[in-house]
Structure 1
Amino acid sequence: MARKDHAHPKSRRWLALLLVLGAAVAAIGWYELFREEPQNLDGVEAYYRYGSIGTEQEEGLPYWVWRVLPEVFPQHLPGDGEDAGYAALGVVWEEGEPTPVGFSRKTIGFPRIGINCAACHTATYRTAPEAERRIVPAGPHQTFDPQAYLRFLGDAAADPDFTADTLLAAIEEETELSWLDRLLYRFLIIPRTRDGLLEQAERFTWTDDRPRWGPGRIDPFNPVKFHPDLLALDPAEDDTIGNSDIMPLWAMDEQEGYALHWDGLNDSLTEVVLSGAIGDGARPDSLPVESLGELETYLRDLAPPPYPFDSPDRQMAARGEALFEEHCASCHGPEGGCTGTVIPQSEVGTDRHRLEMWTAESAERYNAYAEDYPWDFDAFVKTDGYVAKPLTGIWLRAPYLHNGSVPTVEDLLRPAEERPAVFYRGYDVYHPERLGFIHAGEEAERHGFRYDTAEPGNGNQGHEYGTELPTEDRDALVEYLKTL
């Protein structure tokens, strides 16, 4: 007769207790590390400035670690120490906000911080050195230096003082952590953050052999091309330079059907918004597609601010308008036959490097990247030139050309050999007469980045349209451009 085995009642109780404890630990772990809380921002403009685009989980940092890094590692910030904290990197921080414009704070288990579109696409300007800094959503950022920001994070992580003891002591000066949070920060969050930042720094070593971006510029697609989890091209076999001036995102409705980006590599605003979020660190399964759709609608209708100085001379502006219609409207006017189209580089003559950065293979891989998702990419192409853009808000889009190599409109209307060979960019005090930012002199040098047009990718040649006009006609044209 077979003998029946009966589990001892005490063993069953221990097993049940272990299961309960395991479930409790799993629940606490999920709550402390992975629960996702809504941001509850007030409207689409607040979302543009501070909303999550899905970057926090993969590329985000623990907010409190990020918050104390400038205090703990000021020696790794650029500049002479006049600008404290992240201001040394050119970010714009509105009073009372927990993050700068363009940085999102979102709780995924614990507070995290990520970058969104506004980090690069938010202009600032001052009408005088002592004047209040004005913030313009969707304009091209003139002061933020994304490359310096990445290097600061990498240098901080490589510092021997990047330890749990050092960072927790600084965090406790800012906020009160629970005993469980302190344990998680000490043994998990801070060590993992250090490893992640060192991995990120290693991933960007390809930038060491290329000219610096500087404030207001970024290489928009090489970081995506060379990311091992994205397009996965090899920087050792690709020495292209994509350094580009940051573009405005306002009035996108008037660009419906136009080629977008500097080289027209895509004509779908929806794909540009989604791929921009991926470029900032989001992944296909973290993209807030519905929120980004609302953001797209916001950008379609958003208008740039009017020229903020004295009203343009009406008579002179009228003369300039006639000159614009004769010399510029075919490529930059709303009804221009070439407006929004790609002008061959051989014709426009501007620096080739940005064009060569984007390859047919890059376009093919990007179109295949998200083929398993309902918002699939299929509009990326390779072109042979640069797009003739509408000039809406042109007064606030300095410096000019796709690589930001010409500081003012006045300089752009001069032959290339008469344009500044070296100037300073990143100082946001405006020069109204020249239609651009102050780019020379002691203050510009102290606050700006030295831009040398002799470096690869920085060439200021080409686009010599209108340069043959007499001085009085060029002045009239500048007066009219103030009204756009």
Structure 2
Amino acid sequence: MTSIFMRGAVLALGLFCVASHPVSAQEIVYADQGSDWNATTRTLYYTQDQGSRLIALSWMQALKQPDGTSFLADGLQRYGYLPMNGPSQGLPVGFPVTGAAPQQMVGMTCSACHTREIAVSGTRYRIDGGPALVNFHGLMVDLNTAAQAVATNAAAFDSFAKEVLGTQYKDPNSLSWLKTEFTLWAQRFDAIVKNGVPHENWGVGRLDAVGMIFNRLTGLDIGPPPSNLLVANIQPADAPVRYPFLWNAAIQDKTQWPGFAENGSDILGLARNVGEVYGVFGEFAPKKEKWSLLGYDYLAGNSVNFSGLSTLEGLIKKMGPPKFPFPVNQKLAEKGKAVFNQPGNNGCADCHGIKPGQPRLLNSTWATPLLDVGTDSRQYDILNWTAETGVMEGARIPFAHDTLGKTASSLDILTVSVANSILQYYGSKLFDLREDAQTLLAAAPSVLGDMADLPEARLPGTLQELKLAFPKSRGDNQKLMTARATDGSTNFKYESRVLQGIWATAPYLHNGSVPTLEDLLKPAAQRPTQFAVGRDYDIKKVGLAATQTGLQSTTVTTGCDQRNSGNSRCGHEFGTALPDSDKQALLEYLKTL
């Protein structure tokens, strides 16, 4: 398969009850995010390729909406994506184009999902690194509809081919190549959209990232060629969460909403980001190779841009939390600071203050406490998915005396895919994996029976940290990702992050089930049972405005009796017993962080 063939898929999400009207605010003000964050760093953040390969640019330009207009007619702004300044091939922020014509590819980068705008009094405020308010589900479903209209209709394909091929349309070889490649791409894309994106849509600004990473990796990459599909591995991704914010992400000592991934060093950050690339359309096609000490070639057909990911992680380190751009009652905020720092359930600093975290090699970190505070539990169901291993059956789990069986934890498959790709990329720079394998086999084949002698044991300390990157369900360093004990008790822990910039990240809780910070200070039973999600902001309540005028969806929440719904507003009832005056003071202080 050529480079133009997509091997990626979605982190996907859903949307329902959507209204898409132009946002009335026209003026854009960029939030102050520190002296290191400027127009240069911002532009690089918006455009840096990370290895995602969604679709060929010429294909996307030739696809049509149901009314016959170009799929790119509005630069995807109808889904909430933000327009780029300057040449962009008609694509929005976070959709870079890579490669040379005629095989240029459209991908995604982290800014597509982690850049937001809020609207207040006719002005739009741009917040880089903020959780995007986008309809990713709508984009995926509509793109698939457009693709299937071409793939299943001869006349539509003929028109499509004329636009894509231009003067080469009359060349039978070019036409045959396009038919083969597009049909295969459309088959794979249709498989993950129809089987992985849940019918009950998730809404603006939410997605089941972990579920769709598992789906894309196990469903599209490790099956038999030419399609590489294992459709049975694709499951409805029905644990919606809010996009996290990115500032300070590099210095958390744990990451991901359930905190299952160790973090805080460059190599652990790389593991986090390689997994993200595999989830947003990265190409990955592992192949067995007996001359490799890893047993597989994880880089052939792998589109991850390791250098680009390093650049993006460096940019995240420069990105400061956004400063509140509106007036603050400083006297009231000082009172709120005292409330924030008081000990006990009415205070915040015990969980959300800045404290030293787990030391990493050459790096200091902030502590990221993991606590079960009664919030929605659905993501733990996803973390315990299993899948057929396909071509990766027998692949070694890195840093463990174990291999993948015929079926395995989806998290183990991700661990093997990410860690071994990194080990091969950096290990090959330190020693020749293939040459070492040949030498070992020639000298004493039995040597390979001792997995402790395999490559990762000889890597420097910076790469040894990879053993911390993900929990493992089997083998050495086992850290089973489960919240259910043998006695039937549960412990659904999620991360407690430092709250700098928290004012800009509504809706709240990990699953986006509470619209404002004011509502979060109410008992779960008094929080809204439904609310609109969109750009319009309420700076008094600190969060989403009750009435939305642009792209929006309606989130319907459940109570504590349905904690595993994916939409539970239950939990985190800290501060709910405070006097109203203390609550108002605390809200004012949170604006200053």
Task: Say which is worse superposed, 263-272 or 328-337, in terms of deviation.
Answer: 328-337
Q: Select which of 310, 322, 335 maps to 1:319.
A: 335
Q: Distance in 1 between matches of 2:40 and 2:375?
A: 40
For 2:416 and 2:114, locate their aligned partners in 1 and report how far apart those are by CA, in whole Å.
27
Aligned to 2:521: 413
Equivalents in 2 of 1:482, 1:231: separation in Å?
A: 47
Q: Give the distance between the partners of 1:231 and 1:342, measured in 2 at CA.
A: 35
Which residue identity does 2:60 align to in structure 1? W
Equivalent residue for 1:459? Answer: 568
Report deviation, 1:229.
Answer: 4.2
1-side partners of 2:319 and 2:207: how far apart?
A: 23
Secondary structure at 2:97's aligned position in 1? strand
Against the structure 1 CA distance between its residues 114 and 253, is the aligned structure 2 distance closer, same or farther, given a 3 Å change threshold? closer
Other structure's SS at 2:257 match: coil
Q: Distance in 1 between matches of 2:269 and 2:556?
A: 33
The residue aligned with 1:474 is 583
Q: What are the superposed Cα offsets for residues 162-191 of structure 1, whole Å, 9 maximum, x if unpaired?
A: 82443367x59xxxx752377577543366
Quote the residue 1:273 is aligned against: 273
The 3 A distance-change label for structure 1 pair 225 and 293 is same
Q: 1:139 is matched by which residue type in structure 2?
A: G
Q: 1:66 aligns with which of 51, 60, 70?
A: 60
Distance in 1 (CA, whole Å) between partners of 2:116 and 2:508 is 14
SS at match of 1:368: helix
| Aligned residue identity for 2:99 | T
In 2: Cα distance, 1:151 partner to 1:304 partner: 33
**For the residues of structure 1 that align with 2:526 and 2:513, how far apart are their CA atoms?**
13
Give 1:46's aligned residue.
43
Q: Distance in 2 between matches of 1:254 and 1:370?
A: 21
Q: 1:400 aligns to what? A: 508
Which runs of structure 2 are paired with 1:125-144 in the superposition (5 Å)?
125-128=118-121, 130-131=122-123, 133-142=124-133, 144=134
Write the distance in 1 (CA, Å) between the matches of 2:51 and 2:128.
20
Distance 1:434 1:178, change over 3 A: same
Question: What is the SS of the residue equivalent to 2:587?
Answer: helix
Q: What is the aligned-residue identity percentage? A: 26
Residues 415/231 of structure 1: CA separation in 2 closer, same or farther (3 Å cut):
farther
Shift of 1:135: 2.8
Q: Which has the higher contact order (CA 8 A, sep 6+)?
A: 2
| Alignment CA distance shift 1:95-1:217 (3 Å) | same
Question: Does the residue aligned with 2:554 lie in a helix, a strand or coil?
Answer: strand
Q: Check conservation: 1:307, 1:482, Cα contact below 8 A.
A: yes
TM-score between the two structures when normalised by the length of structure 1 = 0.78
Is the 2:79–2:551 contact (alpha carbons within 8 Å) kept by the matching residues of 1?
Answer: no
Contact 1:154–1:198 (CA<8 Å) still a contact in 2? Answer: no
Name the structure 2 match of 1:305. Answer: 322
Gaps of 5+ in 2: 6-38, 224-229, 263-267, 285-298, 359-365, 386-408, 425-465, 472-480, 484-492
CA drift at 1:290:
1.7
CA distance in 1, matches of 2:231, 2:186: 21
Distance 2:112 2:78 in 1: 15
Residue ranges of structure 1 left out of the alignment (5+ in a row): 1-28, 35-41, 78-82
Which of 210, 220, 229 is equivalent to 1:221?
A: 210
Deviations 1:313-364 (A, max 9, x none): 011000000000010000001038997444343xx00000013311282332
Select the structure that is richer in helix: 1
Counterpart position of 2:200: 211
Report whether the alignment pairs 1:250 with 2:247: yes
Answering whether residue 453 of structure 2 is matched by residue 428 of structure 1, we say no
Q: Which moved more, 1:108-117 or 1:370-379?
A: 370-379
Quick check: which has more Rg, 1 or 2? 1
SS of the residue corresponding to residue 188 of structure 1 reads: helix
Correspondence list, 1:342-421, <5 A: 342-345=369-372, 348-359=373-384, 361-370=409-418, 372-375=420-423, 378=467, 379-381=469-471, 382=481, 384=483, 385-421=493-529
Q: Are the aligned partners of 1:74 and 1:85 in contact in 2 as well (CA < 8 Å)? A: no
Q: Residues of 1 paired with 2:258 and 2:514: CA distance?
A: 18
Task: State the 1:281 CA deviation.
Answer: 1.9
Tell me whether 298-307 or 470-479 shows the greater mean CA deviation. Answer: 298-307
SS in 2 for 1:275: helix
Q: What amino acid does structure 2 have at the position aligned with 1:104?
A: P
CA–CA separation in structure 1 for the residues paired with 2:68 and 2:555: 25
The answer to whether the 8 A contact 2:351-2:369 is kept is no
Q: What's the CA shift for 1:122? A: 1.0
Distance 1:401 1:368 in 2: 31
Greater mean deviation of Cα atoms: 188-197 or 245-254: 188-197
Counting only pairs closer than 5 Å after superposition, residues 221-240 of structure 1 correspond to structure 2 as 221-226=210-215, 227-230=218-221
The letter for the 2-side match of 1:437 is L
1:335 alignment partner, one of 350, 355, 368: 355
Structure 2 equivalent of residue 86 of structure 1: 76
The CA distance in 2 between the partners of 1:182 and 1:404, in whole Å, is 52
Contact 2:48/2:308 (<8 A) preserved: no
C-alpha separation in 1, matches of 2:276 and 2:570? 28
CA distance in 2, matches of 1:72, 1:239: 26
How many residues of Structure 1 are paired with residues of Structure 2 in the alignment? 423
Does 2:277 match 1:260?
no
Task: Please report the RMSD computed on the Cα atoms of aligned residues, expressed in angstroms.
Answer: 3.3
Give distance in 1, aligned partners of 2:169 and 2:4: 10
Partner Cα separation in structure 2 for residue 397 and residue 148 of structure 1 = 22
